[in-house]
Amino acid sequence: MSTPETGAQTAPIRMRVQGMDCAKDVAEIERAARSAGVSAEDVKVSAATHIITLRIAENYLPKVRLALESTGYGFERIEGDDVSADPGYKDPSYRWALWIVVVLNLGYGVVEMAGGFLSGSQALKADALDFLGDGAITFLGLLAIGWSLTWRARSAMIQGLFLGLLGLGVVASTLWRVLNQATPEAGLMSAFAMGALIVNILAVLPLLKHRKGDANMRAVWLFSRNDAIGNFAVVVAAGLVAWFGSAWPDLIVAFGIAALFLHSSWTIIRDARADLRE
């Protein structure tokens, strides 16, 4: 059901979102739009293209925009139907910065996954998925420059399904750990989690100068926070594991991070399905 102010009959309003780095940002931005009264089916944020699509009346946009901008991301109106690749991709130094982000995310994703097995921590494995997912999305964005919308949607679908399977794998192995508990090695666990925090902050730096608006420390926090909160939760879990000598803090954080990751994978599949239908 549409809210009275919104109108599915008008042409959709599209904006490019600046500052999105993480698939979890999708949920945050959609929540902001809903807080301004937009119904769930009238807002869609794509993790792959960083485009928000609103089906609302034009005169309602200022109110929604205010709510969106309170999240800290930048919103730039796209005129017409040009929803192809980000025009920023034409800039070689921007593409170079994105490759650095891909290498940092995929690289640390592998390192943190290994850390999860070494220390026996499920939370580290779940957190590693987020790196792999964010790296894969940026990687696909770079590969798909110039691809048709259909091919981009197909590859996004495969990516969403693959990430979803990885997420289910971590959930299943965490369930197994609930039944066969072993206390993780807390020191090793917190070292890998602090490494994750550092890499997430480093991954924002190459993109900063390509962003309009505030390129400062506040922006670094703003654009890495959704990942940093996860990393920080693993650090706290490691402390609690050491304190109580119990596996539970690790398992609970693992479920939380994996659930968010599965939700992100679902939004990628949802977008790809919608794009394939169009």
Distance CA 69, CA 52 (A): 13
Give whichever of 13 and 22 is closer to Zn ion, judged by the CB atom.
Answer: 22
Structure tokens, 256: 């939380």
DSSP state of 216: S
Give whichever of 153 and 196 is closer to Zn ion, judged by the CB atom.
Answer: 196
Least distance to Zn ion from the beta carbon of 264, Å? 8
Least distance to Zn ion from the beta carbon of 201, Å? 13
Alpha helices by DSSP H, the chain: 25-35, 61-69, 92-119, 122-143, 149-179, 186-202, 205-208, 217-244, 248-277
Kindly indicate which of the ranges 66-74, 174-182, 212-220, 226-234 contains the residues binding Zn ion, using the contact rule CB under 5 A. 226-234
Least distance to Zn ion from the beta carbon of 21, Å? 7
Kindly indicate which of the ranges 22-30, 64-72, 140-148, 214-222 contains the residues binding Zn ion, using the contact rule CB under 5 A. 22-30
Asked whether 261 and 163 are in contact (CB, 8 A), the reply is: yes
Least distance to Zn ion from the beta carbon of 257, Å? 10
Least distance to Zn ion from the beta carbon of 24, Å? 5
Distance CA 97, CA 92 (A): 9
Give whichever of 21 and 275 is closer to Zn ion, judged by the CB atom.
Answer: 21
Q: Is 112 in the site for Zn ion (CB under 5 A)?
A: no
Kindly indicate which of the ranges 39-47, 50-58, 225-233, 267-275 contains the residues binding Zn ion, using the contact rule CB under 5 A. 225-233
Candidates 30, 227, 250, 271: give the one binding Zn ion (CB under 5 A).
227
Candidates 22, 29, 43, 235: give the one binding Zn ion (CB under 5 A).
22
Least distance to Zn ion from the beta carbon of 20, Å? 10
How far lies 160's CA from each of 68, 99, 254, 263, in Å?
A: 25, 21, 20, 10
Give whichever of 30 and 227 is closer to Zn ion, judged by the CB atom.
Answer: 227
Distance CA 24, CA 267 (A): 10
Instruction: Mark 114-143 with x for binding to Zn ion (rule: CB under 5 A) and - for no binding.
Output: ----------------x---x---------
Asked whether 268 and 47 are in contact (CB, 8 A), the reply is: yes
The b-or-e profile of 31-67 (16+ CB within 10 A means b, else e) is ebbbebbbbeebbbbbbbbbbbbbbbeeebbeebbeb
CB atoms within 10 A of CB 245: 9
The residues of the shown chain that bind Zn ion, judged by CB under 5 A, are 22, 130, 134, 227
